[in-house]
Amino acid sequence: MRRLATALLSLAAFLLAWKVLTFVTGTPDYILPAPEVVGERAVRAIGSGLLWEHTAVTLSEILLGLAVGAASAIAVGTALGKSLVIERVLSPYIVAAQSVPVLALAPLLDIWFGGGLLARVLICALIVFFPIAIATMVGIRSADLLLVELFRSLGATRAQRTTRLEIPSALPVIFGGLRVGVTLAVIGAVVAEWAGASSGLGVLINIANQGLFDTPLMFVALATLAVIGIGLHGLVVSVERRLTVHP
């Protein structure tokens, strides 16, 4: 209850500061709309079904991209953490892929993979992959060496060591990567839509900004993305609390 009250107070302070800024500077709505203008536009966009139509598409891209990106990142991160040879072979490619601006690569990925949902999910997964893979690798290597020795002395197989010791002990670090990854998934979905899509919040931003010159609608789409990011981040934190032990 107290946490909710704090969050609501923080939101109220943010909206007030925003309102004061627009009022004091006299900035026109087409540059920075006041919060009540955005709110009124949001009500219309929800009422017409426009917002949900685009949100549903982006949400599905985010969830699929996150699932594909996180699953492959945890698998690759585990392999990297357990084998120095694999790390030496794969690391340059992983770092190179992370260093290339996905915004530049996305249009090509869109063409290579046929421009549908698959292409957008892959672009999203690519953005999500790096922080989770690196967090997993670090987490796997942070397993208590004494416990590793104990597992060995008790005759545990490599698979048993991985599933019963290394992954559970890596969970707090993996969840750290997931916290970053989940917010990047939101950005990834928008980047993917900007590379080629007919619907989604990224498309709505383009339509509102460049097509309709409707700045309040653009802010509605941005706020929706922020809400999705906050919601998914909260979900990850909630799962983390259930699965990991806190001192």
Partner 1 sequence: MSPRLLLLPLIAALLVGCTAAPSPTPSVSLRQVTLLLGFRPDVQFAPFYLAQQAGYFADAGLDVTIEFKDGADLMRLVADGRAEFGVADATDVMISRTAGIPVKYISTLYDHFPVALIGPSGKVPAYPGELAGVRIGTPGEFGSSWHALRALLDAGGLAVGDVTIREYPQFNQVGGLLNGDVDLITGFRNNEPLRLEAQGMSVDLLTVDEIAPLPGPGLIVADGLLASDAAMATEFARAIVRALKAIAANPETGLDAAVAAVPAIGEDRATALAVLDATVELWSQDGAIDQAVWTSGYATLLRLSFIDGSVPVDEMTSPAIAGTP
Which residues contribute to the site for partner 1 (CB under 8 A)? 28-31, 106-107, 110-111, 114-115, 193-198, 203, 206-207, 209-215
**Nearest to residue 107, comparing CAs of 195, 202, 194, 193?**
195
- Name the residue nearer to partner 1 (CB basis): 165 or 205: 205
Nearer to partner 1, 166 or 193 (CB): 193
The minimum distance between CB 60 and partner 1, in angstroms, equals 18
Task: Report the distance separating Cα 91 and Cα 4, nearest Å.
Answer: 42
In the complex, least distance from residue 169 CB atom to partner 1, rounded to whole angstroms: 43
The rounded distance, in Å, linking the Cα atoms of 35 and 16 is: 9
Q: Closer CB to partner 1, residue 72 or residue 199?
A: 199
**Looking at beta carbons only, is 133 or 197 nearer to partner 1?**
197
**CB 227 → partner 1: shortest distance, Å?**
23
For tokens 């590379």, the residue is: 195
Q: From the CB of 225, what's the least distance to partner 1, in Å?
A: 17
Nearer to partner 1, 31 or 146 (CB): 31
Yes or no: say if 29 and 89 are a contact pair by the CB < 8 Å rule. Answer: no
Task: Provide, rounded to whole angstroms, the least separation between the CB of residue 67 and partner 1.
Answer: 25
Q: Which residue lies nearer to partner 1 by CB, 57 or 80?
A: 57
User: 89: buried, middle or exposed (CB in 10 Å: 19+, 13-18, 0-12)?
Assistant: exposed
| Minimal distance, residue 81 CB to partner 1, in Å | 37
